């Protein structure tokens, strides 16, 4: 059985902590995935709060466009990683993993449009797309069907 259509249809990026999957838990009550999704969502929100606390201590207020762009790309990458990892808890067969890859690709595309719309003064070049496409490949790669495979707090490309 595939992923719920409400999940597949919703991949809305946000600078805030708002869930990219709109409408709440996409799994019906009683479905084992509903509990896994709810737990993973709570974990994701806690990670976002922890990331923002670290960011508040380390972010530079800068007029340097390159430094500002790097900070924004890092923030988008952290948001992306957090929600991508949550998706892994329900990718328990090959059909769902294939749908998960499609969702990640859509999420990247939506992030690129969202960043351009919300920050028209920032010239991203290929930095944001390169980062997010690499992250999508990472999260959909071999071994990522187990959500314990990698923590989003230490992703391999994040500090690039």
3-state SS of 21-83 is CCCCCCCCCCCHHHHHHHHHHHHHHHHHHHHHHHHHHHCCCCCCHHHHHHHHHHHHHHHHHHH
Other residues' Cβ atoms within 10 Å of the Cβ of residue 18? 12
The confidence score (pLDDT) of residue 145 equals: 52
Cα–Cα distance measured from residue 113 to residue 124, given in angstroms and rounded to the nearest whole number: 11
* DSSP assignment of 82-123: HHHHHHHTT--SHHHHHHHHHHHHHHHHHHHHHHHHH-TT--
Judge contact between 45 and 37, C-beta under 8 A: no
Tell me the two tokens of residue 133.
């496409």
Q: What is the full per-residue pLDDT of the chain (160 aa) written as tens digits?
A: 789 999 999 999 988 888 999 999 999 999 999 999 999 999 999 999 999 999 888 877 877 889 999 999 999 999 999 999 999 999 999 999 999 999 999 999 999 999 999 999 999 999 999 999 999 999 998 756 544 444 444 344 333 3
Token representation of residue 28: 């019906």
User: Domain limits of the chain?
Assistant: 33-160
- pTM for the predicted model, two decimal places: 0.85
d(C-alpha 160, C-alpha 158), whole Å: 6
Q: Report how many helices (DSSP H) and strands (DSSP E) the chain contains, helices first.
A: 5, 0
């Amino acid at each position: 059985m595939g992923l719920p259509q409400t999940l597949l249809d919703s991949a809305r990026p946000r600078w805030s902590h708002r869930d990219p999957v709109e409408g709440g838990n996409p799994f019906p009550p009683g479905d084992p995935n509903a509990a896994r999704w709810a737990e993973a969502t709570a974990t994701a929100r806690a990670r976002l709060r922890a990331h923002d606390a670290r960011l508040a201590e380390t972010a530079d207020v800068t007029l340097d466009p390159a430094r500002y762009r790097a900070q924004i790309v890092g923030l988008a990458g952290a948001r992306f990683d957090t929600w991508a990892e949550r998706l892994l808890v329900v990718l328990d067969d090959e059909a769902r993993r294939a749908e998960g890859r499609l969702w990640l690709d859509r999420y990247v595309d939506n992030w690129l449009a969202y960043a351009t719309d919300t920050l028209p003064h920032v010239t991203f070049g290929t930095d944001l797309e390169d980062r997010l496409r690499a992250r999508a490949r990472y999260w959909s790669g071999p071994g990522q069907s187990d959500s314990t495979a990698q923590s989003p707090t230490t992703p391999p490309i994040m500090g690039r």
